[in-house]
Amino acid sequence: MRQISKITIVFALAFLGMSTKADHGDNGKYFEISKNIEIFTNIYKEINTYYVDDLDPAKLMRTGVDAIMQSLDPYTNYISESEIEGFRYITEGKYNGIGAVIKKIGDYVTITEPYDDCPAQKAGLKAGDIIKAIDEKPTKGKTPDQITEFLKGFPGTEVELTIERPGNSSEMKVMLTRDEVKVPNVPYFSMVSDDIGYITLTTFTRDAGKNVGDALKDLKEKNPNLKGVIFDLRGNGGGLLTEAVNVSNVFIPRGEMVVSTKGKVIDWDRSFKTRNAPIDKEIPLAVLIDNGSASASEIVCGVIQDLDRGVLIGQRSYGKGLVQNTRDVGYNSRVKLTTAKYYIPSGRCIQGVSYEDGEPVDIPDSERAAFETRNGRKVLDGGGVKPDLALEKGSDASIVKSLLKEHIIFNYVTGYTLKHKEIKSIKEFEFTEFDNFVSYLSSNDFKYETKSEKVMNQLIKKAEEEKLLTSLEADINSMKAKIKKDKEKGLMNYKEAIINEIEKEIVKRYYFQKGKIQIGLKNDQEIKDAIDILRDKEKYNKLLSSK
């Protein structure tokens, strides 16, 4: 172990050779690094040698590593050898496995979405199937990550699942042959009206720019009357920085600055410009964003806004202006760490400055610095990109979120599919059994907590602590009664949004991801608003002009 300590000291001192923005003459910091690394290895040695119980050295070290990562931002983490397949999916959009989305519902992990034409779907697995065992090893209590490790493997290898299927009285065994699973980053593009096209990008994996460009080319070639394009980045959590540049290049000219990165190591600072001719730099463009649009998505929508190339519609984006790089740390493991912040053409950085429970804290506009777009429009830094046309999102309502989070809609649709072996085409399908869904909620004793209730419960707790509960009791009871009344109306107030989520879940069961996107577009108010803006040249230009 003393040998390890010497090696770690040498490793720490190696940092002295790196060009950073710190004072190169100050070696005190590097002495502290080497000293504390030696202390860490000595503690590890003593615990491993003398602790009363036998320990798993790898597990012990992973606990320490995870604690280090948790003290940093949410995007810096350690990727062990067993997790490399998941990292490959994030960067390449493919992995080796069975091709299905899984979630824990109750005590077991359940298949929530088998991908079309992948091993799970080919073997007959369906959404709603509960995984009771893998190769005869029970899975009760296992997490989705633990189950994923069992399901991934080299193409051609086999894995046996014991499945409990709703509606079946007995369990069934299914043998699957693993294969390379490729998840398309542009799962759907089409015309959403006679003259407006639509392209959705779900992740910035390899070839994202090429695939978006090919989709736009196809729309232009097949629709000579194309007058505008809706580019959907809602829920897109980002991916490769280089692909953010390539995607931007589809719509903006060669030689435009897209993003620059600045961090501690001067040698790693970079500026990224577009390098190719655009597919179309003139066609009116509406970019849809929401609070799930993050990182590379925010680079693209921020560039579109800063250059006044198109109109942003929806909700403020997530607020992740940090760049991660992966470093090899040996034994086929890597550490993914934040190395820089990125800055878009106006000079602003959109990073949220603080986090709660791993989520960025909303920053008021009054605390955000102002910058200008190319046309002189005022834009703000910090805490995400603010859309040019802000819209309320119906699915953000507490009741809709609860129905999704608690898998109520998922479980209801599983029962629905048992009664409906097939449904109409996507264009014709409509969910008309809302009363039945309401009865389902009642029979399953569905309850949810609104934001108002959360605040009120905090108030009650604080009032108890300060001995004020008795004097506030009448006011609190009045608030409770009003909230209860509003909750009773909640189902009907958000009926349209709930039906939209039910329809998407139903259609996904029969027509997979592409079908879910198509049915969602039919009921999507943001799509309708985007079409209206792209058709209204005066309103479109006004949104992009300086005020």
Active-site residue numbers? 295, 306, 320
What are the Cα distances from residue 358, in Å, to 272, 320, 339, 364, 526? 29, 12, 18, 19, 28
CB atoms within 10 A of CB 143: 12
Q: Which two tokens stand for residue 254?
A: 């060669």
Q: Please say whether the beta carbons of 170 and 114 come within 8 A.
A: no
Closest CA to 230 of 547, 544, 524: 524
Place of tokens 């190769």: 135
Q: Which two tokens stand for residue 63?
A: 């606990």
Q: Give dist(CA 95, CA 182) in Å, integer.
A: 7
* The dihedral sign for the CA sequence 77, 80, 83, 84: positive
Chain-centroid distance, C-alpha 9: 39
Half-sphere exposure of 326 (CA within 13 A, CB side): 16
Half-sphere exposure of 257 (CA within 13 A, CB side): 13
Could you tell me if residue 29 is left (phi over 0), alpha (psi between -120 and 50 degrees) or otherwise beta? alpha
- In DSSP notation, 42-82 reads HHHHHHHHH-SS---HHHHHHHHHHHHHHTS-TT-EEE-GG
